[in-house]
């Protein structure tokens, strides 16, 4: 099956009401408005396909780009592939989720995350922090550089309020992810959250809210969920 054939199958699945929701959340045309439940059916059928994922992403169609992330063969993704993807991501959903998920599950996640968080472009910096969120959520603690992650928490504490909206939003998510996913970082994350205080972000007129990091980590503690890992970053 080719990217062109899949795009032809995706188009009639689009729903105008869902398309409006996506546009309201910053997704740019072209977009069909295909719900994720339908994209998941393609994922189940295709499983992983490296070249097809690249071809779908190249279409520039949001729905196809999102699907590309779901079917990407992460192990085969090169640094060049991922740098190209983050550059072409024209919506926060793509940069902070699709690209970040694939990067985190690739062999290059840590290296690229550290590269991207220093980027001047807002979407790239946000993608870097989002990649770190996924890494701590899926990697065993033994695979993580805990000392470096503590330094990153300190960086959040020192700089978050001077960052752009999207970077600030995802840095806050990183504090939550680190505190909830890595037991040895929970106390440091709670201290960071307390010192950072409330995080305000312009959510573009949507109903979305910035999560309270302290509250989220403490809820995870009460559920006994601290340190639990996810099988995959993708959803």
H helical segments located in 25-61:
36-46, 50-58
- C-alpha to C-alpha distance for 207 and 8, rounded to whole angstroms: 32
Average pLDDT value for residue range 5-13: 98
Average pLDDT value for residue range 1-21: 97
Angle, vertex CA 219, rays to CA 217 and CA 225, nearest 5? 80
List the one residue out of 175, 97, 102 whose CA is nearest residue 136. 175
Structural domain of residue 27, as residue ranges? 1-72
> How many percent of the chain have pLDDT more than 70?
100
- Give the per-residue pLDDT at 57: 98
Q: What is the pTM of this model?
A: 0.97
Yes or no: say if 117 and 132 are a contact pair by the CB < 8 Å rule. Answer: yes
Q: Over 90: is that where the pLDDT of 137 sits?
A: yes
Yes or no: say if 178 and 216 are a contact pair by the CB < 8 Å rule. Answer: no
Let me know if residue 86 belongs to a domain.
no
Per-residue pLDDT tens digits for 82-135: 999 999 999 999 999 999 999 999 999 999 999 999 999 999 999 999 999 999
- Give the per-residue pLDDT at 207: 83
Per-residue pLDDT tens digits for 163-195: 999 999 999 999 999 999 999 999 999 999 999
Name the region of 204 (left: φ>0; alpha: ψ -120 to 50; beta: rest).
left
The rounded mean pLDDT for the chain is 97
Burial 73-91 (b: 16+ CB within 10 A, else e): bbeebeeebbbebbeebbb
Yes or no: say if 188 and 194 are a contact pair by the CB < 8 Å rule. Answer: no
Q: How far, in Å, are 76, 100, 125, 169 from residue 105 at the CA level?
A: 10, 9, 18, 22
- Give the per-residue pLDDT at 39: 98
Per-residue pLDDT tens digits for 48-95: 999 999 999 999 999 999 999 999 999 999 999 999 999 999 999 999
**What is the residue-wise DSSP string for 123-184?**
HHHHHHHHHHHHHHHHS-GGGS-HHHHHHHHHHHHHHGGGS-HHHHHHHHHHHHHHHHH-GG
List the one residue out of 201, 202, 157, 198 whose CA is nearest residue 175. 157
- Give the per-residue pLDDT at 99: 98
Q: Are residue 228 and residue 128 in the same domain, yes or no?
A: yes
- C-alpha to C-alpha distance for 144 and 140, rounded to whole angstroms: 7
Let me know if residue 81 belongs to a domain.
no
Q: Are residue 105 and residue 201 in the same domain, yes or no?
A: yes
Confidence at 205, pLDDT banded by 50, 70, 90:
confident
Domain boundary among 72, 103, 127: 72
Let me know if residue 156 belongs to a domain.
yes
Q: Over 90: is that where the pLDDT of 206 sits?
A: no
- C-alpha to C-alpha distance for 152 and 231, rounded to whole angstroms: 24
Q: Are residue 136 and residue 222 in the same domain, yes or no?
A: yes
Q: Are residue 58 and residue 102 in the same domain, yes or no?
A: no
**How many domains is the chain built from?**
2
Those residues whose C-beta lies under 8 Å from the C-beta of residue 228, and which sit 6 or more positions away, are 181
Let me know if residue 77 belongs to a domain.
no
Average pLDDT value for residue range 199-222: 93
State the CB neighbour count (10 A cutoff) for residue 195: 13
């Amino acid at each position: 099956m080719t990217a062109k054939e899949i795009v032809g199958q995706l188009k009639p699945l689009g729903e105008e009401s869902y398309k409006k929701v996506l546009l309201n959340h910053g997704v740019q045309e072209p977009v069909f408005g295909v719900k994720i439940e339908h994209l998941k059916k393609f994922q189940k059928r295709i499983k992983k396909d490296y070249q097809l994922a690249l071809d779908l992403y190249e279409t520039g169609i949001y729905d196809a780009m999102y699907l590309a992330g779901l079917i990407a063969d992460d192990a085969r993704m090169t640094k060049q592939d991922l740098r190209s993807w983050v550059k072409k991501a024209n919506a926060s959903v793509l940069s902070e989720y699709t690209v970040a998920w694939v990067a985190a599950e690739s062999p290059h996640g840590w290296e690229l995350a550290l590269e991207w968080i220093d980027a001047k472009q807002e979407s790239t910096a946000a993608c870097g922090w989002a990649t770190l969120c996924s890494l701590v959520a899926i990697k065993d603690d033994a695979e993580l550089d805990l000392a470096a992650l503590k330094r990153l928490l300190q960086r959040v504490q020192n700089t978050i309020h001077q960052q752009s909206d999207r970077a600030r939003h995802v840095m806050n998510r990183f504090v939550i992810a680190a505190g909830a996913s890595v037991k040895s970082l929970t106390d440091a994350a709670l201290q960071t959250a307390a010192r950072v205080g409330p995080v305000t972000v312009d959510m573009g007129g949507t109903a979305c809210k910035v999560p309270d990091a302290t509250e989220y980590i403490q809820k995870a503690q009460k559920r006994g969920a601290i340190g639990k890992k996810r099988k995959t970053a993708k959803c």
